């Protein structure tokens, strides 16, 4: 089974691409890390309790206020959902405190999401899926790209397009909040370069500076390249022979580790020239 890692940055169109891949003619199962990240911090989960324990004392509006549709469960309101905008203000930004808070939050959420993703991938394999899409905003940052046979980055060439889309989608965000959110996920153009460095069929970029029709055409182009390099018959053959699939997965992981190491060394050399 081919693991397709789908990533990008906020407001580049990754969710739209994910939706297109889940529909005909592709009909691929999509494992959405953002959706899982919400599920693992729902009230009553270990992740929810850890977030409330760490952020609650210093973030008075961490939980949604109680009201007619939101009863206050318990003396400290630990049954109320998280106030995501308030939590976002705590962790998005470049100052040291926000970076530390973001690291703490990631340390709570990421391990739980990884476990949920692993279960979903195994389930897709057992159902005989030829490919599955791992929709992960921080695919490279979390090193999950090492497990993917192919990485797809949804990117824009013009940074202004990204900011305009984000402000239009989330009008409640100030310019500073929007810039902090974009900056927290890294430069999407660098992700595109890193993706293409993986080689033909193993790293492809969907450019999304235009409208939905242009995006659909980009997706067709990218999926055509992926299927040429990883045909369906090969996926079915590996599904029918689990030992071969396991061996190929180990080899693919080792290859991706080498690719990442070469990329990091190249980046160090480029920085040394500055």
Nearest to 248 by CA among 261, 237, 258: 237
Q: What is the pLDDT of residues 122-133, one digit of tens each?
A: 999 888 888 999
CA distances from 6 to 53, 60, 127, 207 (A): 32, 35, 21, 13
pLDDT of residue 72: 54
Which position has the higher pLDDT, 270 or 216?
216
Span of 24-28, 46-50, 134-138, 184-188 with lowest mean pLDDT:
184-188
Long-range Cβ contact pairs of 187-191 (< 8 A, separation 24 or more): 187/9, 188/8, 188/9, 188/12, 188/153, 188/154, 188/155, 188/156, 188/162, 189/155, 189/157, 191/7, 191/8, 191/9, 191/140, 191/153, 191/155
pLDDT at 274 exceeding the cut of 70: no
CA distances from 251 to 18, 149, 225, 245 (A): 27, 10, 21, 10
pLDDT of residue 29: 95
* Residue boundaries of the structural domains of the chain: 1-29+131-274, 42-128
Mean pLDDT, residues 255-272 taken together: 89
User: What band does 66 get if pLDDT is binned at 50, 70 and 90?
Assistant: confident
Mean pLDDT, residues 186-204 taken together: 91
CA distances from 29 to 131, 135, 232, 267 (A): 8, 10, 15, 34
User: What band does 76 get if pLDDT is binned at 50, 70 and 90?
Assistant: very low
Question: What's domain 1-29+131-274's superfamily in CATH?
Answer: P-loop containing nucleotide triphosphate hydrolases (3.40.50.300)
pLDDT of residue 181: 81
pLDDT of residue 71: 53
User: What band does 75 get if pLDDT is binned at 50, 70 and 90?
Assistant: very low
pLDDT of residue 77: 45
Please work out, in degrees rounded to the nearest 5, the angle formed at the alpha carbon of residue 194 by the alpha carbons of 189 and 197.
130
pLDDT of residue 74: 45
Mean pLDDT, residues 103-130 taken together: 91
pLDDT of residue 269: 86
Q: What is the pLDDT of residues 141-150, one digit of tens each?
A: 889 999 999 9
Q: What is the pLDDT of residues 217-248, one digit of tens each?
A: 999 999 999 999 888 777 777 777 888 888 88
CA atoms in the 13 A half-sphere facing the CB of 105: 20
């Amino acid at each position: 089974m081919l693991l397709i890692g789908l990533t990008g940055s906020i407001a580049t169109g990754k969710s739209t691409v994910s939706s297109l891949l889940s529909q005909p003619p592709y009909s691929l199962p999509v494992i959405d890390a953002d959706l899982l990240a919400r599920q693992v911090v729902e009230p009553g989960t270990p992740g929810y309790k850890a977030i409330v324990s760490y952020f609650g004392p210093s973030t008075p509006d961490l939980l949604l206020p109680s009201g007619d549709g939101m009863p206050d469960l318990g003396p400290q309101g630990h049954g109320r959902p998280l106030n995501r905008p308030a939590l976002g203000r705590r962790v998005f930004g470049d100052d040291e405190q926000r970076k530390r808070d973001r690291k703490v939050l990631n340390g709570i959420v990421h391990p739980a999401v990884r476990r949920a993703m692993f279960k979903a991938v195994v389930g897709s394999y057992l159902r005989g899926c030829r490919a599955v899409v791992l929709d992960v905003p921080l695919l490279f940052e979390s090193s999950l790209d090492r497990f993917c046979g192919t990485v797809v980055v949804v990117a824009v060439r013009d940074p202004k397009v990204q900011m305009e889309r984000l402000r239009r989608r989330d009008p409640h965000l100030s310019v500073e909040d929007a810039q902090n959110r974009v900056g927290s996920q890294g430069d999407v153009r660098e992700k595109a370069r890193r993706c293409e460095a993986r080689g033909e069929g193993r790293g492809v970029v969907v450019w999304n500076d235009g409208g939905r029709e242009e995006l659909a055409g980009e997706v067709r182009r990218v999926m055509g390249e992926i299927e040429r390099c990883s045909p369906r018959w090969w996926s079915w053959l590996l599904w029918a022979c689990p030992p071969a699939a396991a061996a190929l997965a180990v080899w693919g992981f080792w290859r991706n580790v080498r690719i990442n190491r070469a990329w990091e060394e190249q980046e160090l050399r480029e920085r040394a020239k500055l």
